[in-house]
Amino acid sequence: MRTSPSFSCTSYILFGSQSIVNRAKSRENECLHSLEDFCVFRSFLAFFERFFLVDIDKIHKSFFTQPFYSIGVIHLKTAVREQRIISILESRGEMSVNELGAILNISVSTLRKQLADMQEKKLIIRTYGGVMSINPVPDETFDSKLHKNVNEKRRIATKARSLIKSGDSLSLGSGTTVYALSNLLDDLDSAEIYTNSMQAAEYLANWAILNTHICGGIIRSATGTIIGSEAYNFFNNIDVDYAFISCDAVDDNGIVYSDNLAVATVERAVLRNARKKYVLCDSTKFGKSSVASIADLADCEAVITGTEAKSVTENLKFRGVNIIFA
């Protein structure tokens, strides 16, 4: 009577090593002759699934078409990468597919296939060109941001206001510095103003002499920013004299960033069809990068910032960026 081969958990847990793989190859036929052996092996897989997050159903379906050692290695690698993706997104909230692929050191095509599978399992949320956690990092609220660097933001807004005259058309992005600017527009005799900021629209609605247009779309509850395809198309189809946006970061190359991919997409549209483009940015935003790029300062009329930023913007001057200090 043939005795059932013994299964060593230690051996199969470590079967990524060449010696164990070779052992698995040589014993594959021997190990799986009987139903009893299969049950023993299936019990081990259940143990393996609990501790290593391997997709046993996929292994089971492929069991008779592929050697189990290769199936195990493939699914272990996929499962480990899946957990890493979840971990990265929980700490970052949202990021582009290209950036995530660079971190994981895998091709974008491979990553897209895995993200599609993860979305089907409701482990992540796909966005346009990116991916976000189902448990994203909470947004800092508008009110919280409003009370930071108040004096500097007020000076920046005042400097920006000096550029605008009655009869001008303006696109205003979201953010507290742009909101500070919106609060200085009530002395205009007339203006056409377009915005994706709930707070700016609410303030400007008090002044009937100003024609204020707010885009449709999805409202981000913490910040009052409107995002989505409706907002994007709204700004993409208007021409204005000036566009003003805020941002979350500006790196040493002059690239302007948002912490949110969907916000960045709309802010790019805010800038696109303006004759003159301005970025309003307090001194704490320089020398940083973030999730999604919005614009290159070299393509803008100027960045308006506080005098506090003089020491951290020298490199931008050498790159030809026009900096207006307030």
Q: Where in the chain is the domain with CATH 3.40.50.1360?
A: 142-325
Query: Distance between CA 264 and CA 299 in Å, rounded?
Result: 16
pLDDT at 245: 98
Q: Is the pTM of this model over 0.75?
A: no
Q: Which tokens is 34 given?
A: 């009987």
DSSP state, 101?
H
Could you tell me which of 163, 233, 259, 246 has the C-alpha nearest to residue 200?
246
> Which pLDDT score, from 0 to 100, does residue 149 have?
96
As beta bridge partners, residue 256 has 250, 295
Q: Which of 36, 319, 279, 301 is nearest to 156 (CA)?
A: 279
Q: What is the pLDDT of residue 43?
A: 53
Instruction: Flag residues of the chain having pLDDT under 70.
Output: 1-76, 135-137
Q: Are 193 and 167 in contact (CB under 8 A)?
A: no
Q: Helices (H) and strands (E) in the chain — how many of each?
A: 14, 15
Q: Which CATH class is domain 142-325?
A: alpha beta
Helix (H) or strand (E) holding 110: helix 108-120
pLDDT tens for 193-213 read 999 999 999 999 999 999 999
Reduce the secondary structure of 181-192 to three states and give it as a string: HHCCCCCCCCEE
Single-letter amino acid, residue 97: V
**Would you state the pLDDT for residue 185?**
98
